Structure formats: structure tokens, C-alpha cells
Amino acid sequence: MSGQASRRDILGGLLVAFALAPTAALAQTGGGEGSGGPPTVAPDLPGTLAKFPDLDAWIRIGADGRVTVFTGKVELGTGVKTAMAQLAADELDVAIGRVDLITADTALTPNEGVTAGSQTLEQSGTAIANAAACVRLLLAETAAARWGVAATTLFTRDGVVLDGQGRRASYAELAASTSLAVRARADVPRKPVAARRLIGRPVPRVDLPAKLTGLPSYVQDMRLPDMVHARVLRGPSSGTRLTPDLAALRRQPGVARVVDVGRFAAIVGPREWPLEQALRVANQGAWTRDAAVPALPPMPAGLLEMRRESTVIDTRRDAAAAPGVRRLSARYDRPYLMHGAIGPSCAVALMAEGQLTVWTHSQGVEPLRTAIAELVAMPADRVRCVHREGAGCYGHNGADDVAGDAALVACAMPGVPVRLQWSREQEHGWEPLGPAMLAQIDATLDASGRIVDWRHQVWSNTHSTRPVAAGDLLAGVEVVPPFVPTPPKPIPQPNGGGDRNAIPLYRFANQSIVSHFLPDMPVRVSALRGLGAHLNIFALESAMDELAAAAGRDPVAFRLAHLDDPRAADVIRRAAARFGWSRYRPRPNRGRGFAFARYKNHGAYCAVALDVERIPDEGRLIVHRAVVAVDSGEAVNPDGIRNQVEGGVLQSLSWTAYEAAGHDGTRRTDYDWSGYPILRFADVPHSVVVEVIDRPGTPFLGTGECAQGPTAAALANALAAATGVRTRSMPLAGGLATRS
Amino acid sequence: MIDLTVNGATARVDVDPATPLLYVLRDDLRLHAAKFGCGLGQCGACTVLVDDRPVFACLLPVGAVGTRTVTTVEGLGNAAAPGDVQRAFLHEQAAQCGYCIPGMIARAEGLLRKTVTPTETELRSAMAPSLCRCGTHMRILRAVRRAAVVRGGGVVEPAEPVT
Amino acid sequence: MSRPGIRRIVVIAVVLLGLCGIAFAAIAYRPAIARVTRPDPRQFDPALVARGANLARLGNCVSCHQAAGGRPYAGGYPIKTPFGTIYGSNITPDAATGIGSWSPAAFRRAMREGVARDGSHLYPAFPYTHYASVADGDVDALYAFLMTRPAVRAVPPANRMIPPLGFRPLLAGWKLLFFDPQPVVADPRQSAAWNRGRYIGETLAHCTACHSPRGLLQQEKRGDQAYDGGWSGGWYAPPINARSPAVRAWTVERLDAYFRTGLSTAHAAAAGPMGPVTYNLARAAPADVRAMATYYAWQMRAAPAARAEPRLPDRRALARQRHPEGARLYDGACAVCHEPGAAMMVAGRPALPLGTPLHEANPRDTIQVILKGLKPPVAPRGPYMPAFADALDDRQVAEIVAYLQVRRGTGPAWPDLEKDVAAARKEGE
């Protein structure tokens, strides 16, 4: 038998049991952000197969041998399109170049809710891998029946089933007589690790050649025949209302028409530049503070005064624990943060032949479709939302709202494709922000330096106002009669919103974790990468360092002493070793900091070590080195993991050290990048190293958000070591940077 | 009527001369690499080369280009035959969402046309006008350091060595 | 004349020259002050160090003593003068490459007399002509501050002076001619804030160094012509006395806000060299900054705008008619930020004509801000403008400036703009 390494026995190989209980039970649509999603109908099947068990929902094989794979998730720049193509291609045994991945489209793909919460591989990747393995088996069984042999005697290579004695049949051929409208089987093994060609390899991103050479790749690049451009008119920020002079705008050159419905207004024309100029004219109109928006109290202290609904989300009592002798009582906080996508939100919409199609970079085309259908008063099955990539969004930004805006305009102009682009100022002014948060930690050490009591309280707004109905879109509250926004709700554990990662992974004898949910939103907020994990891990891991210092123990050893989870211990040891933790020499104004978290306590494990210098007199921070160890379970694309983690580290450094969205009581004050500076090249670390611990055969663990929390705390810990002063309020390099 | 030399070819467009070059590139010439990021000269997503210098296409009126040569990322190479800066970016997989990357490539090309031996400080300073929100900076710098070597030079005292 | 007669004249001439040389050497000579061991930073009283930190902010020391990408006070910043480029020295307490081996007396001598520890004369680019009048306690505070900074090993590039100006003893001659330090004596008729402001402004902050004209040998004209306007780093520092061309009054409040935040909403943002000045003033003691505002508001109390703030013209149609290309360039490159309806205008940033550059005697500042843009002066966030030097050629910049002047200017005509733009590019390098 030739090509041993590249072929594969049908049933030989490891039968990999998917650990269903954690992921399936935990799978809330989009990590609990957004609508409930479709019901589980096949609980024995892994990933989203449990909701869509038929194979042809996921995989089709064309007459030309090309394989179309459907996913209800989307590519946000995380590289999942490549990872899922790797899974499909490897499990199916076809060249990756023959796989076409169709991402979320309400007309074509399974409803996997929102691409959020770092669940893409856990949910969709798992489903696709298993579905591909099932399809491969079915094709082999078709050949087996045709040749009168047992399927176990056949093997596959590069899209062909072979019997090893000269008979061969291509998948294209076999697919013609293989129905994929059948239920997946839970017992089909995945490809043995040793035989994998793609999974576990740093396969180059399939989408980069086009993006790096200028081929149209983003929704912003779409140009349809007879397409018109549009700009929406709004006040300078969320919480304001503009009164534009529509009559004057209609007379502006380049404005072909004005679409206005109630308070919603947009200008439409054939070319962008005249619309930009007209937008400026519109913005000279009077604007007022929206009286319906509650007043913003001084932050972060104001969070403590707001109306709240408190829940104990975890509690443990061990009366036999040793008495506490030293106590830490500390308050940690962060301000409102922007998503700050480099490309302001954009959508294209076309109302034609009774069907409304919206091309959108929303993370959730399914709930968006529901909201838009309600907005334009059309049946949901006449509205189609198709995902097209936008710039990285890092959560719920303006993507859904602009889709609603475009839909309204398109409905006013049937037959004409409409491209509506938000301005930079509109993105800064109207995108939902990551909520300001505050955590209070009270912890006690016993005489041996062990933590015996741990109380964590966190105050936060909801971390999801993702649209599920028309009232959740900006246009929805502007039309007449206005729709009503869905009342905000907390996202329940085990995913959590403001309380995400508030429950420690450490083993403490006594603990009490309380989530104070604040329903009133003086500032428009929603999901930002990591949700509550950024602040909660900042607090938790800062407190761990403060306690370690009080106990006179090394911060890494202190953490290990309180952990049961061997994989957690592994990432901690790996990061510390690679960093050279035990060899580090302290220097003036320079220090090291360490932090660890397991995202959501069921996602990826991530440990971060930083070497940071603070230049006195300038307050400038130099991150000399960042060393990270991450365990994402089975690594489909280790370079994709490294890329996401590097990116998460840099983004979190920017958030934690520098960022704070400003508000003057009437409006947001940061209308462009000059008002909301983010990390630039001069301040980027000198070196970032990410070590990936690959555990093939174990479940995929959500990785995209795992670095936000540990990086924030590692920075706080490094600065405390460098300066001798502990800062518990973000932004850490604040001072003049945060003065309005 | 305005004549432009873009990527070595003449283009003729009938637009208001005050129109920023960015819109002409994207809407009239269907060159989508340069992106709209802010329209304010703050983010660099629109960066193109004009006579070898990186400029913000969002703030350059098309009527002001004149006979100067405009080079967009499409003019540096294509998917089948990428240019050496693009090749370096692909080698380092220097992109996450990728939206800022054409601006980065153009800016890097502008730097390397000026010098193939910048110091690390000069490299960071040259790239500073371009923003990345995904945090791809490390890979972008690695890509430019690699491209400098390919061009016969190399960054002086690089923060990370080219491997 | 007889040959012995000629010979005698020659001998006398040589002897006289020799005596002059000796006399000059005697004047120029300064002994070295012995090196000391680098003082232990812990020996300095923290209150004195804090006082020195404040004074260093007021004096804007770090701007000349830090290179781009370099460490604070480690030197390496190029100061361009008509006589060549001088690099700011390393004044960190590094014993080998900084001032770590300087005794307090050596430091005092440098500040008061412009002489380095080793006896060499310092170029007046280091404004000891001002620092000579800094009070003793303040000099000691600055010493304490500098000696407690992190020591950085860094050797700045060698100065590149036009020969023979690299020969430092010549500076003794310069000092003879121009160095006549006067103490700053309090004026009892004025408030404490005024006096404090004058002391700071005339000594540490050395404002006349940019804002006064200079003579041929670069000596500041501080008498009648003090604050009549000057040049710095390719930018024009306008008059800040009765000749101020500002079209809005510089009140104490507005000056204070400008110094502390880098922005006066009645004028403009701090641009060019004023950026780093306000960066440091923003971190100085607010009472001292207010004192400076008090003094300089007084200096400008008789300026035209102090008496009446004129209505500012907007000759839109005329400017477009006279400079149609400038108008088109402005529409495409500038209006997006500077016209009503732009986000920054809606947010209350000052309109273009409020800024002084459009009303100055020369177009230099208008040109430079177009070429170089503006970085947020005092913090990472703040007013920002991109640079247009690579996007627009000299003629195009001149067109925009011409258009702006017709549309908004109230000062004298600027006749030769394209040449001015070329000069600005060259001098701002």
C-alpha cells in the first residue's frame, strides 16, 4: 500500500470521545449574548450538530469535486475560516484548496447564533470536524457497496476512495449517489493525530492573499450595479438628537434624495464625496441631549450608587478552614472602553422582488434578521442577512445598527442597492461601549500564607445589548412609532457577562462571589471582547499578587499553591520558565508581572508574564518582553492561536494602560482617534512570545478572548513591581492621559 | 477631466477635483486596497504612495495629484505574484482582520524606498501614522524587518531578529 | 621708512597681538572644577528634588536634552542655529557621559556663567544668559533633581559647527560682548503672581529666547525689542507684547488654559515648539503657570486685541475667485476638519481664523502647521492635525495659504508664498 502517511484506514485510529457535557451544556448562543437560538434536538451529537444533525446542513460535494462547507459562524479576522477549512479538509481527506467555506447567511447556513464568546471552534469547528468525518465514512460506504467489499478495507486520499488494488472512485462521483440528508453519527472517529496533514499545522490563512493584494474582501468593498451611497444623520453621540434641516439637505449637490422616517434620516446619492460634504452641512444642525437617557454619575464611584440587582453566583463554606490573620480589601475599576474598529461600520442592502437582502459584518446575522424584519415590517423569511467581513469589531459595535439603517433606506428605494457607511465620528459616538466596571475583593490569609476566604463583588451594566428585536437597533427607536428596546438582562453563568471570570479557578476554602447587575445605562454599552473577564481577572490576579506579597511568597509559586487544575499549572509553569521568572534581576523602574486565567473557567488557559519599565518624568511604559503560554485544547492552527493571543495581549495593553472613553454629561467627548488614542508602534512591546501547548484529541477551547484579562493584571503587577506603587484603576498609565 | 498615473497606467476620471483621491481609487478605479478608516488623516488605512512618499489618500484632493505617480498596494503585486513586502507580510502571516494592512504595506514600501537600513526607532516612527486595532503590530514589524533584508538591507538593532 | 623702523613696528605689532592673545586667553580661560563621585541620590531632600522637578518643567529642560526615541535628559537633540547644529548634552547623572561627576559648584557655574565642569565655554544655545539670574536655591534644587534621575550612558553626536566656531574659547568673546546678566528684582507695585511670573518667564522659561529678535551673532535683543517676535526651529514665535498680532485677547485665563492644556479655545492649539513647552507646563505647579499667565497677559495688555476683539472676516467668495485652486485644495484637504459641521468644530474647537498664525507678519507658522501638522501637545489625546508635506508641493501649499489669507487674514500681505514654503521646508528639517 503506497502513500501510507497520506491515506487512512476507515475505522482504524483513535476513537475520540468528545467531552460533550461541558461544551454542549454550556453552549449558549454566542456565549449567552443575543437570542436563545434554535433548540437542541440531538444531544448525543457534538457541537452545533446537536441542533442541526443532518450532514447536508454542513457539507455538500459538487460534481466538480469541490467541497462546500457551511458554518453559521463568521470570520472576524480571527482566522477561524482557515481553521474550519483545515478541519473539514483533513477529516474529509481533500486538499484544502478544494474547500469553499460559506459563512453565516440566513438563507444558507445553520443558525449558530452570534459569533461571540470564543465558541466558534467549540461549536462550529466541532460540528464540522465530525460532519466531515461522517461524510467521508458515507462516501466510503457507497464505494464499498458498489465494489462489494467491506468499508473497513478501503481508504481515502485526496478526495478519492481507494481499495488498494487499483479501484478508485472520486468523491464527486460517489457523492452523486450518496445522500447527505442524513443524520450525523456520534461514533465516527476523527482522524488519528499521526495521520493529520492540516490540523495542528500552521496552515497559512486562506483569506490573506486577497486581502494583502487589494482584492475586494470587505463589505466596504462591495460595489453592485446601480448601487447608491448613503449616509445616516445623527447627533454627535449616543444620548443626543440632531435636528437636521432636511429641506436644505435635499438641495445639496450630490444628494439625490433624503430618506426620513420619524427621526431617522439618511441622505442618498450616486457619489460619496458630495454626501460627505452634505453630512457636514447636516451636522451644523442643532442637537440636544436626549432627555430619555439617564444622567451619568461620576465614574467609577457612580456605579456603586446605581440601582442594582444582586445575585450570589458562587459560594463555598468550609468552617474547618484555619482562621484568617491578614486581610486584603481592595477595589479595582475600569472606565468605559471603545471597540474602535479601524473601519467604521458599513452595510449594503437591496430590496428587490419582495426580498430584502442585507450584507453585513454583524456577528449575528440570525438575530439581526429578526430585528430588521420587525423594523421594516416584513416576514422574517423575506429578509436575508449575509455576512461579509468588516474590520475587526471585537464585539458588538456599529455593525448591526448600520445594517438597520441600510435596510430602512433600501426599503424606501426598491430595486436599488444601497451602501450606507458610518463616519469615523459616528462610530466613535454611537458604537456601544464596553461597560465601566468596579470590583471589590476582600480576601484573608491564614498564618501559613494560604488564602482561606475570598469575596469578590462586581458592579456592572449588562454586557450584551445585541439586537434581538427592532427596538435594539438605533433606527428602531428613531422611526415612528418607535420600537421599544429589549430590557437588559444579565448573561447567566457559566458564561456570565459582568461576572464573567469572577469565580476563581483557584481552590479557596471559603468564597462568595456576588454579581451586582446594574440595569440603568447612562452610556450605551454592550459586549466588548472578554466581557467582564477583563476587569474581573485584572482584579482577581492583582489581588493574588497583593496577597502573595503579604504572604511573602513568589507570585508564581503562590498561584500554583492554590490550584488543582493540572493544565492551569502547566501554562503557568511554561510561561514562567520561558520568561526566565526565577532568573529575573530587579532593576530600578523596571519590574516583572505575572497573571493567569482560564477564560470563563471552561475556555482556553492563558498565563502571561511581562517585563515592564516605566520611565520616570515621562510616565512612558516600555514593555520589554511579553511571554505567554496558552492551552487551547486541540490546536487546529497553532499560528492562528499565536496570532490571536499576540493580538489580545497588545489590545489589552492598550486598553489597560491608556484607554478611557470620555463623557461630559451630555455627550461622548472622543469623536475621533485624537480623542481616544490607542497603542501606536512606538509603544509596542519589544518582544512577544507565545507558546502553544497543543493537546490533540481534547476538546477545542475558546481562545480569542483569553489574553485580555491576564495581560491587564500582569501589567498591573509589573508596574507595582517597577514603581513600588500599586495602581488599581485603569488606565494604568493614566494621569493627564485621562483628563478631559 | 483629470488624468492620473496609477500603478503605471493612465486613468482618466471625471470628478470634482476636490474629491479626495481615496474615493476616486475605490469608487472610480475599483482599487480597494486603500481603505476608508477615518477620512481625517489619523489612522493610515488609506495610505498610498505618491512619488514614493506615503500619503493619506483621504486628504489628498484628486486634482492635486497632477503628474505625480500614484502607487497603490495593487501596484506592488497580486495574489499570484506578490511583491516582496507583500510576500514578507504573508510569510509572517501579518494580519488579523487585515483592514489596516494595505495601509501598512504602502507605508512600509515608502520607508524601504527611502532606506533599507532604518534603525528600530526609525522603523517604528515611520509606521506610527498607521493604526492597528487587532494588535498585529509585532507581525507587521517582523514583516518589514524581513522585507528590509530581502531588499539588501536590514533594520539596525532590531527589537526581534529576523528568523 | 628704514628697515629697522619696519622691523620695530612688526615687533610691536606681534607683541601687541601676543598680549591681546594672552589677554584673551586670560579672559577665556576657566579652570576645570575637580570631578566628584556621583552623589548618592538618597542624600537629597525629597522636597528639594520636587522643587527642582517643577523648575525643570518650567524651564522646559527636557526638550533640548532628549533625543527622539531617547531617554529623558540623556541628550542628543539637535538644535539648529545659523552657525551649525549643536546637540543637547547628556545631563543625567552618568559619571562618564553625563554630569554625574559634577559638583554643585560646577553645576552652578554652568548655569550662571555658561562654563562646563572642564572649563570649556558653553554655546548660548544653552540659555545661561537667562539661567544666570536663577536664584541660588532654585539652582540647587535643579541640581538635586538632575542628580536623582536615572543615569543613562549616552554620548550625543558631535556638534557640527561652521569653522572656526567650533573653537569654544571664541565664546568668551561673545560673552564679553553680550553676556550681561541682571538679577530679576521684584516690582513692589505688582502682585506676587506677576513677580513670580516675571521671574519664571525671564529666567527658567527663557521666553525671549524664541520670542525676541536676535542680532547677527544670535544675541537676544532683550531691551526695547524684547518680545517683539523671533524664530525657533523653523517656526515664527510671534510678538507677545503690545505688538501681539493675536485677534483675541490673551487674558490670564486664556493663557493659563493654553499653558496647562495646550489649547486656548479662543485661539488655537499649541503648535511647533510651543507643543513641548506646554507639555512641560502642564506638569508644572499650577500656581507657577498661572503666575506666568499673569505676567504675559500683562505684557500683552496693550495689544490691539486686548482693547477690542475684531469681528473676523470670511471673504469666502473673494478668496475662491482669487484663488480657485487654493479653494479646491482647501475643500478636499482641510474642510473636513476646519469647516462648520466638522466634528471638532461641533465639539467647540476654535475656528481657523481665531489662531494667530493667519494674522502674523509672515506666513511661516501657517505654512509649517500645514507641512508638519500638529501632535496633541500635553497628553496622548488632544488636538491633532496630520502633516501635508508629502501630499502637497510648494505651489499647492502656497495656494492654500493664499486662499486662507484672503478669506480670513487681517494682517499684512504675504507676497512671495511659494518661496516662503520652500524656505519653511528647508528650515524646518
Q: How far does the CA of residue A672 sit from the closest CA of chain C (Å)?
A: 8
pLDDT in tens, A100-126: 999 999 999 999 999 999 999 999 999
Q: Do residues B57 and B20 make contact, with C-beta atoms less than 8 angstroms apart?
A: yes
B147 to chain C, minimum CA–CA distance in Å? Answer: 23
Confidence band of C428 (pLDDT split at 50, 70, 90): confident
Length of chain C: 429
Smallest Cβ–Cβ distance between B36 and the set A220, A639, A644 belongs to: A220
Q: How far apart are the CA of A220 and the nearest CA of chain C, in angstroms?
A: 21
Residue A176, min C-alpha distance to chain B (Å):
33
- DSSP-assigned letter for residue B37: S
C241-264 pLDDT, tens digit each: 999 999 999 999 999 999 999 999
Say yes or no for a CB contact (<8 Å) between C381 and A615: no
For residues A647-669, give the mean pLDDT.
96
Instruction: Return the percentage of chain A with pLDDT > 70, whole number.
Output: 94
Q: Which residue of C has its CA nearest to A282?
A: C341
Model confidence at A734, pLDDT cuts 50, 70, 90, reads confident
Q: How confident is the prediction for chain C on average, in pLDDT? A: 95
Residue A32 confidence (pLDDT) = 61
Q: What angle is formed at CA A341 by the lines to CA A306 and CA A655, rounded to 5 degrees?
A: 55
As given in the structure block, the three cell numbers for residue A344 are 467604521
Strands (E), C270-377: none
Chain A residue closest to B131 (CA)? Answer: A680
In B64-83, the residues whose Cβ lies within 8 Å of chain A are 72-74, 77-79, 82
When pLDDT is averaged across residues B26-53 and rounded to a whole number, the result is 98
Which residue in A213, A217, A643 is closest to B96 by CB distance?
A643
What's the pLDDT score for residue C20?
Answer: 85
Cα separation, C131 vs C115, in Å, equals 12
CB contact under 8 Å between C150 and A588, yes or no, is yes
User: Do C97 and C155 meet the contact criterion of CB atoms below 8 Å apart?
Assistant: yes
pLDDT at residue C69 in the model: 84
pLDDT tens readout for residues C59-95: 999 999 999 889 999 999 999 998 999 999 999 999 9
Q: Do C332 and B39 touch (CB under 8 A)?
A: no
pLDDT-derived band at A16 (thresholds 50, 70, 90) equals very low
Q: Which residue has the higher pLDDT, C10 or A231?
A: A231
CB of C376 less than 8 A from some CB of A: yes
List, for residues C284-340, the tens digit of each pLDDT value.
999 999 999 999 999 999 999 999 999 999 999 999 999 999 999 999 999 999 999
Asked if residue A24 has pLDDT above 60, the reply is no
How far apart, in Å, do the first and last CA atoms of chain B sit? 49
pLDDT in tens, B117-140: 999 999 999 999 999 999 999 999
Q: Do C150 and A616 touch (CB under 8 A)?
A: yes
Q: What is the pLDDT of residue A736?
A: 42
Q: Which of C328, C337, C393 sits opposite B61 (nearest CB)?
A: C328
Selecting from A282, A615, A676 the residue whose C-beta is nearest the C-beta of C381 gives A676
What is the residue type of A91? E
Q: What is the DSSP letter of A321?
A: S
pLDDT at site A299: 93
Cell of B30: 475599483
At C24 the pLDDT is 83
- The helices-and-strands tally (H runs, E runs) of chain C is 20, 5
Contacts of B62 in chain C (CB under 8 A): 332
Residues A169-188 have a mean pLDDT of 95
pLDDT at A503 over 70: yes
Q: Which of residues 624-683 of A touch B (CB under 8 A)?
A: 639, 643-644, 646-651, 654, 672-674, 678-682
Element (H, E) at A549: helix A533-551
Chain A interface includes B112 (CB < 8 A): no
What ipTM was predicted for this assembly?
Answer: 0.98
> C-alpha C328: how far from its chain's center?
35
Q: How many Å lie between the alpha carbon of B131 and the closest alpha carbon of chain A? A: 6
Contact C332 B56 (CB under 8 A): no
Q: Which chains touch A (3+ CB pairs under 8 A)?
A: B, C
Residue spans of beta strands (DSSP E) within A555-619: 590-598, 605-615
pLDDT band at A37 (very low <50, low <70, confident <90, very high): confident
Write out chain C residues lying below 8 Å of B121, CB-based.
68-69
Whether pLDDT at A20 is above 90: no
Please state, in angstroms and rounded to a whole number, the distance separating the CA atoms of residues C350 and C266. 6
Can you point out the beta strands (E) in A42-200? 59-61, 67-70, 99-102, 155-157, 160-162, 168-170
Is B60's CB within 8 Å of C396's CB? Answer: no
For testing contact with chain C, the best of B40, B124, B156 (most C CBs within 10 A)? B40
Q: Is A530 on the interface with B (CB under 8 A)?
A: no
- Residues of B whose CB is below 8 A from A674: 42
Confidence of residue A14 (pLDDT cuts 50, 70, 90): very low
Query: Which candidate from B56, B121, B125 shows the least CB-CB separation from C391?
Result: B56
Rounded to whole angstroms, what are the CA distances from A136 to A9, A153, A155, B159?
11, 14, 10, 47
pLDDT given for residue A142 in this prediction: 96
Contact B37, B43 (CB under 8 A): yes
From first CA to last CA, the distance across chain A in angstroms is 73
CB C272 within 8 A of CB C372: yes
Contact between A643 and B93 using a beta-carbon 8 Å cutoff: yes
State how beta strands B2-6 and C84-87 pair.
Answer: unpaired
Q: Which residue, A621, A567, A593, A631, is CA-closest to A710?
A: A593
Check C336 against A280: CB less than 8 A apart: yes
Residue C345 near chain B (CB below 8 Å) = no
Total number of residues shown for chain A: 740
Mean pLDDT of chain A: 93
Helix (H) or strand (E) holding A510: strand A510-517
pLDDT band at C1 (very low <50, low <70, confident <90, very high): low
Q: What is the pLDDT of residue A617?
A: 83
Q: Which subunits have 3 or more CB–CB pairs within 8 Å of chain C?
A: A, B
pLDDT exceeds 80 at position A280: yes
Alpha-carbon distance of B15 to B4, in angstroms, equals: 12
User: pLDDT at residue A609 above 70?
Assistant: yes
Residues of chain A contacting C, Cβ within 8 Å:
236, 276-277, 279-284, 287, 425, 588-589, 615-618, 658, 669-677, 682, 736-737, 739
What's chain B's average pLDDT?
97
Question: Would you call B42 an interface residue with chain C, using a CB distance cutoff of 8 Å?
Answer: yes
CA–CA gap between residue C338 and residue C268 (Å, rounded): 12
- Chain segment A396-447, per-residue pLDDT in tens: 999 999 999 999 999 999 999 999 999 999 999 999 999 999 999 999 999 9
CB pairs < 8 Å spanning A and B = 185
Please answer yes or no on whether A617 and C347 come within 8 Å at the CB atom. Answer: no
Query: What percent of chain C shows pLDDT beyond 90?
Result: 87
Q: What is the pLDDT of residue A36?
A: 61
Contacts C382 to B, Cβ<8 Å: none
Comparing CB atoms, the residue among A280, A588, A736 nearest residue C379 is A736
Residue A34: the pLDDT is 57
A641-671 burial, b for 16+ CB within 10 Å, e for fewer?
bbbbbbbbbbbbbbbbbbbbbbbeebbbbbb
- Nearest-5° angle of CA A263, CA A268, CA A271? 150
Report the alpha-carbon distance of residue A570 to residue A698 in Å, rounded: 15
Residue C115 and residue C108: Cα distance in Å, rounded? 9
Which of A209, A216, A680 is facing B131, going by the closest CB pair? A680
B158: number of CA atoms within 13 Å, CB side?
Answer: 19
Residues of C within 8 A of A739 (CB-CB) are 379
Contacts of A566 (CB under 8 A, 6+ apart): none
CB of A493 closer than 8 Å to CB of A499: yes
The C-alpha cell that represents C55 in the structure block? 523648575
**Secondary structure element (H or E) that encloses residue B4, with its range:** strand B2-6
pLDDT score for A7: 42
CB contact under 8 A, B40 and A212: no
Which of the two residues, A196 and A9, has the higher pLDDT score? A196
* Residue of A280, A425, A620 to mutate, testing the C interface (most C Cβ within 10 Å of its Cβ): A280
Say which DSSP state A434 is in.
Answer: B
The most distant pair of C-alpha atoms in chain C lies apart, rounded to whole Å, by 90
Residue A385's SS3 state is strand
- Confirm if A447 and A246 have CB atoms less than 8 A apart: no
CA distance, residue A175 to nearest chain B CA (Å): 32
A-C interface: how many C-beta pairs under 8 angstroms? 66
CA distances from C25 to A178, C17, C172, C175 (A): 105, 12, 9, 13
Query: What is the Cα–Cα distance from C370 to C388, expressed in whole angstroms?
Result: 6
